[in-house]
Chain A
């Protein structure tokens, strides 16, 4: 579809761009003390975008802008996830004391720009678009991570983020250009056709290209060994930004990873061993290995943390590992499992981070010590946090269990050759119980019964309940979500 025709399918993004521009202008017109209002504007714009996204028809596969973007239910699913997490993060940010002393107009504008970048990421089917979209998201997040200008750790985290980000996107760009050199095109589906016709002499170059590209994606979803930036960035960044980084860009990264590897590898047959004697890389085993390394490292290091926020940072690495478990099998079931996991993960992880913010507002810290006796003092916050912890561990009847259940099911369905992967996942779940329960332990098992209970403000209470209700409810009845995802996947496998 040419550019002009494409615009008529592109109005969610157009609305978003309008919102961004309006936010910039509005920020100039408001007093610094009232800059929170920009957040409301962005919020309203995102709600409109959400509706626009739902009502844009995606009945068949449509490619926009000369085949550089796909408009399919798969992309729409991820866009919905991204908007939802952004809406929550905007509300959470308004409650954060960390951000209160800064002018936050551009903070919300940057978040909106990130949303735009992630929209591109989840629908990119062109190598150039892949690179550009990742950069849009990365650069905005560099600034957001360093938003607390007077906080050294925040500055440090931003700088680390820039260095790692620049390095890994350089690697990825290198990989992408090799791929272009081999195939002479930047479009996914054309690449797929050319690759299947390539002879074995170019397999080595293909392997190099794929490894480099994997590094770029691995950085985005913080998979081992590309995870080194994660704990420091997550710890130093303002907590709402940490919450955001641990959910939305990760979802977008998975969308890109799934699309790219699906098109290039399964359909082009690269997963098969070469027939002509040159062994190709056993991709399923490599991905499975990365997955196990990611979750094991995340879990083992999380045990040793003394800060709840940093513990959650490592735990989010572990969760990326669980989701990666479903990548090697690359079946529809695996993709389905990753998608349902992301939905569940969205609520529980944002909720846990929001509780960290509430505790930090109250006590000024975010270590386990600051959570001591929280359950006795602020019962609502304590109970909800316990729920999030159970859900992150994956204990029924919570949403986290359903996510894990589908991941395990997808891997087990792939046959006995992958059972070891499930065992690794299962052992990791048990390890993770230990540090999640540590939070529950300090909140409830320590401290004493208090005469007076403290309740957070009505808005805060409403927000944690909105995050907690799906965490519990989706653990009991998730059929509508499952159906929605099934529909999102229906058109995914067709090429153009």
Chain B
């Protein structure tokens, strides 16, 4: 076991980036290999971390803590628990696969892979940081490479998409920064997330800012910051644009990892630090989840661009996770202390984060495969491709089925858990949102039909079958989807203990009196 494994996980890609910057830019193969090796090593470290992780403990493990700026009480603090571990496995996995997805980038190769590795560091850092300041720095660090990756290697509207993504996220970030500073000064001058979790519920009790409880003010500031990332309706308009314009690998990262940061942030920060507000906001969260489910599905139904369809399906899938999160209040006294429902809902939400990461990654890679060959993504522009590309059609079938939540694949389990958790508390909302599943099936199946069945479009009779490199990026994800769909037990156990602690933090510390 490597010592300081978390630091290694974070800084390995930066080491790769520095190496890439030193390689002359015409040696493109070497650059790609360095990128693959550094993300590959990172993936290996993540698996090591997983094997050594103690699932029976709900607290932070492998912690590192070094004073950084003592005068402001800022430290370099890292740690991993059942909430962050799934994302720590997912991020290097997708980064590693995405190096191969982007193997055919032909313009500015050096810059592309250097930025990609920097993005990787930012993402891992967000999930591992236990210091709020450090969290914020990584959160922002991610924006810079993302802006360039969309803006320099994206589609026709890339400039607009890149700046829109940047502006939206920055609005959220500055609100978050204000909340971070307000927490710092009201909760005993600390940025440490574990310390804030201890101190914040008591310290904020009773203070009123502008006629509103301080707890609510901070909740709203943080929530908007995270909601933009998820993205929650009505902050979602950056997403279809950014996803569609970004190059394939970047879409994969956007959907697979970046969207999860919003949910991760709410569970890591909002829930334990502001438990009083969870009760106040859970209803709204469930309703927003419902809107995401229905709105995302309806929009996906209306798309003719395959990539846009996948993008809207992300909005829909995040809605399920939000429903699951809202279920946490089932454990409160008011709702009959239904710990099982709360546990199912919130564990389901985290599991949904992971599953959506693998499934949407597959979907985006598949869109990229067809786009590389046909140079368009119009669903109605194909037809009969199943005959021309049988293997591609098969893999796409698995991905689409996973996306619509077919039992036996991982997406079904997590969506089911989210519904199960939320049902006792939000009965009507859950019943309406099951409609989303039907709509999911409708748009995935109709898209599948239009692309793969029917007469073969003569224009595409020369399309080549999916190649080995592309299959290499898809098979691992498909296998994970299958295994987790049949036997999710060990994976859920890894998350469960941390979620029990989180539920206790919310339900036992939270004071469910009506706050002003």
Contact = CB atoms under 8 A, between A and B. Distances in A.
A324 B175 CA distance: 20
B499 to A, nearest CB: 31
Interface stretch (B68-76, B421-429, B442-450, B463-471): B68-76
B6 to A, nearest CB: 18
A28 interface: no
B184 A409 contact: yes
Interface in B133-191: 136-137, 140-141, 143-144, 147-148, 151-152, 158-159, 162-163, 166-167, 170-171, 174-175, 177-178, 181-182, 184-185
A405 B171 CA distance: 15
Given A482-B71, A483-B71, A445 B178 contact: no
A463 interface: no
Interface string A413-444: 10010010011001101100110010011001
A389 B181 CA distance: 24
A479 B178 contact: no
Interface class of chain A by DSSP = helix
A395 B174 CA distance: 10
B133 to A, nearest CB: 8
B191 to A, nearest CB: 11
Contacts of B167: 430, 433-434
Nearest to A444: B152
Contacts of B147: 437, 440
Contacts of A413: 185
Contact of B159 (A422, A445, A482): A445
B209 interface: yes
Contacts of A483: 71
B108 interface: yes
Q: For chain A, which range describes its interface: under 10, 10 to 19, 20 to 34, or 35 or more residues?
A: 20 to 34
A320 to B, nearest CB: 20
A428 to B, nearest CB: 9
A412 B185 contact: yes
B71 A445 contact: no
Interface class of chain B by DSSP = helix
Nearest to B185: A413
Interface residues of B, number: 35
A445 B140 contact: no
Contacts of A405: 177
A449 B106 CA distance: 11
A390 interface: yes
A479 B144 CA distance: 24
A412 B151 contact: no
B140 A423 contact: no
A478 B133 CA distance: 14
A355 B148 CA distance: 20
Contacts of A434: 163, 167
Given A430-B167, A437-B166, A479-B69, A408 B178 contact: yes
Contacts of B375: none
A396 interface: yes
A397 interface: yes
B104 interface: no
Interface string A206-237: 00000000000000000000000000000000
A446 B162 CA distance: 13
Contact of A430 (B140, B141, B170): B170
A409 B137 contact: no
Interface string A379-398: 00000000000100001110
A422 B210 CA distance: 14
Interface of A: 376, 390, 395-397, 401, 405, 408-409, 412-413, 416, 419, 422-423, 426-427, 429-430, 433-434, 437, 440-441, 444-446, 449, 477-479, 482-483, 486
The list of the 4 closest CB pairs from A to B, nearest first, reads: A426-B174, A416-B209, A396-B137, A412-B181
14 contacts: A376-B108, A395-B140, A396-B140, A396-B141, A397-B140, A409-B185, A412-B182, A426-B178, A429-B170, A430-B174, A433-B167, A437-B163, A441-B163, A444-B148
